[in-house]
Amino acid sequence: MLTRKAALALLVFLVVSGVLCSWCEADHSFIHNVSVTKASFNPTRDESISLSYELKQAVTVTVNVYDPDHGFVCGLKEHEKQEAGKYTVTWDGRDLGGIIVPDEAYYFVITASGESGEKEVYDPTITSGGEHIDVASPNVQRDGIVSYMLPRAARVRLRVGVENGPLIATPVDWKPRAAGRVVEQWNMKDSEGVVDLRNRKDWKVALVAFSLPDTSMIAYGNKQLSYRSYKLGPAKGRPTKPERSREVASARISEHWAIPRVVDRAVPIKVDILSKETVLEGNPCRVRDSVVLRVTVPDEVDRRFLESQGCEIMFFVDMLLVAEIEQAYMPCNWPWDLSNIASGEHVLTVNLASFRDQIGAASRQVIVEKQK
């Protein structure tokens, strides 16, 4: 038996001679050259997408498809014995129940097991995805067209607001986009159609993006089913991918990378105007003296998420900030004193912002009528 000193001397000899380094650098993995045939496809038109990979030795292979929240979508290969060589597996864009998946970005996971029990997993989410992408100088046109270049496939958010004023709309809400030139277009209005930015010159856009995992597949074309409805409906309760630690550290990982797609969105909010506990209808809504603005989040999932994270609410009149509640709870009531508001038409805009960067916006037209 080697003494400790002799073993240390042998180790030094192996390193110096390159023997140990050669062994460390040897290629012991058996999944290689993983790729997909294209970046996006439309399963509603019977399009499919294929995954290609190469095996260096005979192994047992399982290939699964997962959604961006790591939920199981379907299995394409299950414990199939495959010899060394090149293989291709095709996905038609349907889940385990035969449903065409909603528009989103999906990815493959390959698990290979050797005869001696060794296992290797190709999981692109532990080696890639989530990195901030700098979008250089997007071209913003006054007719609502925004174009930009993406160096990699990414998840994109495009917000529009008034300079030194409120957020008005989120035309692109963390949607997956393929690499290359991307053109976004919106109607220059908020979701209620109250604010029309075509008549203003002080609106600005904020575009941010983070990368998708390597070999992601962007499905599009499903106009019948949103991803959120899918996850809260037919895909609810399905198993998730086994949790694995990220192998590549990066200081530029987006804080939105780990937030579920179901809640990481522009939160729909509702603004009611109350006078003596009576909800005033109409758009524009006629108001006098003082009223109470009641802000609510109708969706229960959104509401629970906001309650767990904390949020603030900002009130704007004609795009100018008039009040802010730094720690808000739902529902939130704010007394609006109209004594300093001139008679006539005004635009009331409410922004609700979570402390994890989810912002909802709603606007109301009001006509202030002073009592004579």
Interatomic CA distance for residues 370 and 362, integer angstroms? 25
Each residue of 214-229: pLDDT tens digit?
Answer: 999 999 999 999 999 9
pLDDT given at position 22: 29
pLDDT given at position 295: 97
Interatomic CA distance for residues 282 and 149, integer angstroms? 43
pTM of the model: 0.88
Interatomic CA distance for residues 254 and 235, integer angstroms? 26
pLDDT given at position 21: 30
pLDDT given at position 372: 64
pLDDT given at position 268: 96
Asked if 133 contacts 109 with a C-beta cutoff of 8 angstroms, the reply is: no
Structure tokens at 283: 């758009």
Asked if 35 contacts 86 with a C-beta cutoff of 8 angstroms, the reply is: no
User: CB atoms < 10 A from the CB of 250, how many?
Assistant: 12
| Helix or strand run (H / E) with residue 232 | helix 227-232
Each residue of 161-191: pLDDT tens digit?
Answer: 999 999 999 999 999 999 999 999 999 999 8
- Amino acid at residue number 279: V
* 344-354/139-140 β-pairing: unpaired
CATH numbers and ranges of domains, the chain: 29-126+215-241 (2.60.40.4070), 132-212 (2.60.40.4070), 270-368 (2.60.40.10)
Structure tokens at 277: 């506990």
Interatomic CA distance for residues 254 and 363, integer angstroms? 30
Low-confidence ranges of the chain (pLDDT < 70): 1-28, 372
pLDDT given at position 251: 73
C-alpha of 240 from chain center: 17
pLDDT given at position 15: 36
- Phi/psi at 371 (nearest 5 deg)? -70, 135
pLDDT given at position 8: 45
Asked if 106 contacts 145 with a C-beta cutoff of 8 angstroms, the reply is: no
